């Protein structure tokens, strides 16, 4: 009976020219923007022809963050609509039965879908459109979740270990609907702040201990106070959403998942410093985030939260979006402001600081996305509550992007002061394939590498700087023992060489030369004295550079020399790469002791250089070997050295 119905309705849906067209659009929207889920209409149009209604309350939440969209969430949404309407469920379900949500952090498992049936939530991971029919059939119709596709224990551990203030609504509410934000208490803080004096707002933010999440860690309340005190008008407030470091995507996730929290933060900041214009400087590549932000700003204007006489007060405030042109250095405050002014994005020396002479030479506050998105919660719930998270000098929570050789990759929010160990093992689930942890690189491409021996250290601004790294953007790259630290330093230096603006000598030429020397070492051309030369020039780049980029760029270099000097020496003096990463340093010899005679190397060698017979150890004929590395990768026992 059910089968018959399914076929019938299914055909009906397919043959409908409307549905067919809409589905096509949905697919296209995946890559461009989180387009409107048009099938909603398709569901409605079926209303009349469908009579059967399920009695159960049903909500399906589908992640449409960039990670989710890339994994095909629009297709999943379309499939749900198709399947539900085909089964006649659409008649009674509320319009918003399938909701779109922002990123909830565990992008590696995308598409993540919550099916909440009668208040009973189940979370599916790795959802695909073709899995939807079975979920609808067995779970929604039959009441039995599809066990094998459900997220397992590690998914819950990943979330259990976290403390969510910023991300609490990300992945829960529809980011494209201002009412969803208002329903969870949104914009109450802005209204409250309107009844306060600017100095009261500043005092509250100061008391919370909130420090800038853009990397510098400057006290946000104090920055606002300096700007407020500064003579000159008009004043500006800018949200830094340039997030250019590879591996960092927390700001994107916040804007995609909860754009109104950023707008509310900007409103409150503007009230504190008496600014009437705000800017959001964002990467043009963040298409989904920009679209959502645009929508959110329009909705806020429609509600009179932005524009003239906001919230019916006598205060005006509006926000404009500015697109970056793809330069990492434009995340730096002075370069960012020059870029908004239409000039070449190059930092300028300070003083004067931006709070005195910023955008168009007027007093300006620049705050990071995450910083601003904390503000509403601080105003609503009080500084004392906020300061109860974190440790003495680093209050509150911070979002980190956990990546590398860790089992659970994704965005996490934890109280500052938590140890690296808790992050990697409790939330991250430990190292992939249970290998040995070697180091963690924090703070983005300009951060230092922290060795496994320091894994108990607290993650806060001061501790990270002290050990030669930094908070930076908040990315964390976990490295295991298959990582070569010289190669890591070379890799990150290559990033700086590409991103330096070229203004000052140490950063423009210095990083180039450091990169060349590191490349030489990884290619087996290291020389006596290279380490000292690298340390000397690295130190001078740090000391002499104009802006934060050059001043931090040597961190990966200096920290790896400090903690892994033996690896540098092995490369230079012994011509050996202990991790076996640097191809030029491989000797292409078979380690007879560990060779298990499997012959995999012989099978992959393209030149027939590997001599092997059943139950015999392999041997490499040097005269035929072209050092392609195929045998090295194929050997399951790491017996090729």
Ligand X SMILES: Cc1cc2nc3c(=O)[nH]c(=O)nc-3n(C[C@H](O)[C@H](O)[C@H](O)COP(=O)(O)O)c2cc1C
Task: Assess 325 for contact with other proteins (CB under 8 A).
Answer: no
Closest separation in Å from C-beta 345 to ligand SF4: 9
User: Of the candidates 546, 561, 595, 609, which one interacts with other proteins according to CB under 8 A?
Assistant: 546
Task: Assess 346 for contact with other proteins (CB under 8 A).
Answer: yes
User: Three-state DSSP class for 240?
Assistant: strand
Q: What does the alpha-carbon distance between residue 126 and residue 410 come to, in Å, rounded to a whole number?
A: 14
Q: Which stretch binds ligand X (CB under 6 A): 117-125, 171-179, 360-368, 376-384?
A: 360-368
Closest separation in Å from C-beta 395 to ligand X: 14
CB 90 within 8 A of CB 47: yes
Chain residue at closest Cβ approach to ligand SF4:
550
Nearer to other proteins, 81 or 495 (CB): 495
CB 355 within 8 A of CB 364: yes
Task: Assess 506 for contact with other proteins (CB under 8 A).
Answer: yes
Q: Which stretch binds ligand X (CB under 6 A): 3-11, 17-25, 210-218, 423-431?
A: 210-218
Closest separation in Å from C-beta 539 to other proteins: 9
Q: What does the alpha-carbon distance between residue 518 and residue 511 come to, in Å, rounded to a whole number?
A: 10
Q: Residue 216 touches which of other proteins, ligand SF4, ligand X, none (CB < 5 to 8 A by kind)?
A: ligand X
Q: Using CB under 8 A, which residues numbered 472 to 501 contact other proteins?
A: 497-501
CB 161 within 8 A of CB 105: no
Task: Assess 216 for contact with ligand X (CB under 6 A).
Answer: yes
User: Of the candidates 532, 536, 621, 633, which one interacts with other proteins according to CB under 8 A?
Assistant: 536
Task: Assess 338 for contact with other proteins (CB under 8 A).
Answer: no
Closest separation in Å from C-beta 581 to ligand SF4: 28
Sequence-ordered strand ranges (E) for 325-409 = 364-368, 397-404
CB 278 within 8 A of CB 318: yes
Site string for ligand X, 294-333 (x = CB under 6 A): -----------------------------------x-xxx
User: Of the candidates 378, 549, 561, 630, which one interacts with ligand X according to CB under 6 A?
Assistant: 549
Closest CA to 331 of 369, 380, 364: 369
Element spanning 340, H or E? helix 333-340
Cis peptide before 351 (omega within 30 of 0): yes
Closest separation in Å from C-beta 444 to ligand SF4: 14
Distances (CA, A) of 247 to 251, 256, 392, 401: 11, 17, 28, 7
Q: What does the alpha-carbon distance between residue 367 and residue 238 come to, in Å, rounded to a whole number?
A: 6
Task: Assess 215 for contact with ligand X (CB under 6 A).
Answer: yes
Nearer to ligand X, 266 or 549 (CB): 549
Contacting positions for ligand SF4 (CB under 6 A): 329, 347, 500-504, 507-508, 545-547, 549-550
Mark 378-410 as b/e (b = at least 16 C-beta within 10 Å). bbbeebeebbebbbeebbbbbbbbbbbbbbbbb
Phi-psi region of 627 (alpha: psi -120 to 50; beta: other; left: phi over 0): left
Residues forming a β-bridge with 544: none
User: Of the candidates 105, 214, 404, 410, which one interacts with ligand X according to CB under 6 A?
Assistant: 214
Task: Assess 242 for contact with ligand X (CB under 6 A).
Answer: yes
Distances (CA, A) of 409 to 103, 108, 158, 159: 13, 6, 9, 12
User: Of the candidates 82, 213, 338, 398, which one interacts with ligand X according to CB under 6 A?
Assistant: 213
Site string for ligand X, 128-167 (x = CB under 6 A): ----------------------------------------
Tokens read off for 103: 């990123």
**Residue that has been written with the tokens 């394939």 in this structure:** 433
Task: Assess 278 for contact with ligand X (CB under 6 A).
Answer: no
Q: What does the alpha-carbon distance between residue 200 and residue 552 come to, in Å, rounded to a whole number?
A: 36
Closest separation in Å from C-beta 510 to other proteins: 6
Nearer to ligand SF4, 102 or 444 (CB): 444
Closest separation in Å from C-beta 450 to ligand SF4: 24
Q: Residue 215 touches which of other proteins, ligand X, ligand SF4, none (CB < 5 to 8 A by kind)?
A: ligand X
Tokens read off for 195: 């009844």
Q: Residue 509 touches which of other proteins, ligand X, ligand SF4, none (CB < 5 to 8 A by kind)?
A: other proteins
Mark 559-580 as b/e (b = at least 16 C-beta within 10 Å). bbbebbeebbebbbeeebbbbb
Residues near ligand X, by CB under 6 A: 212-216, 218, 220, 240, 242-244, 329, 331-333, 366-368, 371, 547-549
- The binding site for other proteins (CB under 8 A) comprises 327, 344, 346, 348-349, 351, 497-506, 508-510, 512-513, 516, 536-537, 540, 543-546
């Amino acid at each position: 009976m059910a089968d018959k119905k399914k076929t019938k309705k299914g055909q009906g849906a397919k043959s409908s020219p409307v549905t067919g067209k809409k589905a096509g659009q949905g697919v296209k929207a995946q890559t461009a923007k989180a387009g409107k889920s048009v099938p909603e209409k398709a569901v409605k149009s079926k209303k009349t022809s469908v009579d059967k209604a399920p009695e159960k309350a049903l909500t399906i939440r589908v992640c449409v963050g960039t990670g989710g969209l890339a994994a095909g969430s629009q297709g999943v949404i379309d499939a749900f609509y198709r399947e539900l309407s085909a089964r006649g469920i659409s008649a009674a379900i509320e319009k918003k039965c399938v909701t779109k949500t922002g990123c909830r952090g565990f992008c590696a498992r995308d598409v993540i879908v919550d099916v909440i049936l009668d208040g009973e939530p189940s979370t599916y991971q790795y959802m695909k459109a073709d899995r939807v029919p079975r979920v609808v059939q067995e779970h929604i119709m039959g009441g039995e979740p599809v066990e094998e596709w459900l997220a397992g224990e590690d998914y819950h551990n990943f979330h259990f270990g976290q403390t969510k203030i910023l991300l609490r609504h990300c992945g829960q509410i529809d980011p494209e609907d201002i009412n969803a934000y208002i329903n969870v208490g949104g914009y109450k803080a802005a209204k409250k702040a309107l009844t306060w004096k600017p100095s009261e707002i500043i005092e509250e933010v100061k008391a919370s201990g909130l420090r800038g999440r853009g990397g510098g860690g400057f006290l946000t309340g104090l920055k606002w106070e300096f700007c407020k005190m500064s003579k000159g008008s008009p004043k500006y407030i800018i949200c830094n959403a340039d997030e250019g470091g590879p591996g960092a995507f927390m700001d994107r996730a916040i804007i995609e998942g909860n754009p109104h929290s950023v707008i509310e933060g900007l409103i409150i900041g503007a009230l504190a410093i008496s600014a009437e214009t705000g800017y959001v400087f964002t990467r043009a590549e963040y298409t989904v985030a920009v679209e959502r932000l645009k929508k959110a700003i329009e909705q806020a204007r429609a509600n009179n939260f932005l524009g003239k006489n906001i919230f019916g007060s006598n205060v005006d405030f509006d926000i404009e979006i500015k697109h970056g042109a793809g330069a990492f250095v434009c995340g730096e405050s002075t370069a960012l402001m020059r870029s908004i002014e239409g000039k070449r994005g190059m930092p300028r020396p300070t003083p004067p600081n931006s709070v005195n002479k910023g955008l168009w030479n007027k007093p300006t506050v620049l705050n990071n996305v995450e910083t601003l998105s904390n503000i509403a919660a601080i105003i609503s719930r009080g500084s004392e509550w906020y300061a109860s998270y974190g440790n003495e000098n680093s209050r509150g929570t911070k979002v980190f992007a956990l990546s590398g050789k860790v089992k659970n990759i994704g965005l996490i929010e934890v109280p500052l002061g938590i140890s690296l160990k808790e992050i990697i093992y409790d939330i991250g689930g430990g190292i992939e394939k249970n290998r040995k942890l070697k180091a963690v690189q924090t703070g983005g491409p300009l951060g230092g590498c922290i060795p496994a021996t320091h894994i108990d250290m607290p993650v806060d601004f001061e501790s990270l700087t002290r050990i030669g790294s930094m908070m930076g953007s908040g990315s964390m790259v976990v490295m295991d023992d298959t990582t070569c630290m010289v190669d890591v330093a070379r890799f990150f230096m290559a990033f700086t060489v590409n991103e330096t603006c070229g203004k000052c000598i140490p950063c423009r030429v210095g990083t180039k030369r450091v990169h060349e020397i590191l490349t030489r070492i990884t290619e087996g051309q290291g020389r006596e004295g290279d380490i000292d030369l690298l340390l000397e020039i690295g130190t001078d780049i740090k000391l002499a550079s104009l802006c934060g980029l050059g001043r931090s760029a040597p961190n990966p270099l200096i920290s790896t020399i400090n903690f892994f000097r033996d690896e540098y020496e092995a490369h230079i003096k012994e011509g050996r790469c202990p991790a076996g990463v640097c191809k030029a340093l491989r000797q292409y010899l078979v380690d007879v002791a560990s060779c298990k005679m499997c012959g995999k190397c012989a099978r992959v060698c393209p030149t027939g250089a590997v001599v092997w017979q059943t139950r015999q150890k392999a041997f490499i004929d040097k005269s035929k070997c072209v050092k392609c590395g195929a045998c090295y990768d194929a050997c399951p026992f790491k017996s090729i050295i």
